[in-house]
Amino acid sequence: MQTLTRNGDFRRAYGRGKSLAQPALVVYATKNRAGRCRYGITTSKKLGNAVERNRCRRVIREALRTLDEPFAGNWDLVFVARAKTKFIKSNRLREVMRRQLRQLGVVRAPE
């Protein structure tokens, strides 16, 4: 999986993408033509200092890495950390992420 780096990609996901919010995580998903799934993570200064924001990013990245379900097509995903993200473990966040991505139609349910 490749990372999103361009501001325009983030803006497109925010503007045209479907979103789903939970207390621990917000996910924006939009189809892309890049030929692969890409992801980006954002954390605002409202979450705390740099140590806390970096922990939020690490937890989200680990939850995404251990997600074991196939993606249904090519998607741009933007994960936005929220206040509860810094208090949650990656395996719990993985379940929240899995539920959100299924509802958005990004991952296929196991058969």
**Which structural domains are found in the chain, ordered by start?**
2-100 (3.30.230.10)
Q: CB atoms < 10 A from the CB of 20, how many?
A: 16
pLDDT for position 111: 60
d(CA 106, CA 98): 9
d(CA 65, CA 18): 22
Phi-psi region for residue 110, left (φ > 0), alpha (ψ -120 to 50) or beta? beta
Q: Give pLDDT tens digits along the chain (111 positions).
A: 889 989 999 999 999 999 999 999 999 999 988 888 999 999 999 999 999 999 999 999 999 999 888 888 889 999 999 999 999 999 999 999 999 999 998 887 766
Bridge partners, 55 (sequence order): none
d(CA 97, CA 84): 14
pLDDT for position 110: 67
Percentage, residues of the chain above pLDDT 90: 77
What would the two tokens of residue 25 be? 């995580």
> What is the Cα 57 distance to its own chain's centre?
10
pLDDT for position 35: 84
pLDDT for position 85: 93
- The overall pTM is greater than 0.75: yes
- In the chain, the N- to C-terminal Cα span, in Å, equals 23
pLDDT for position 105: 87
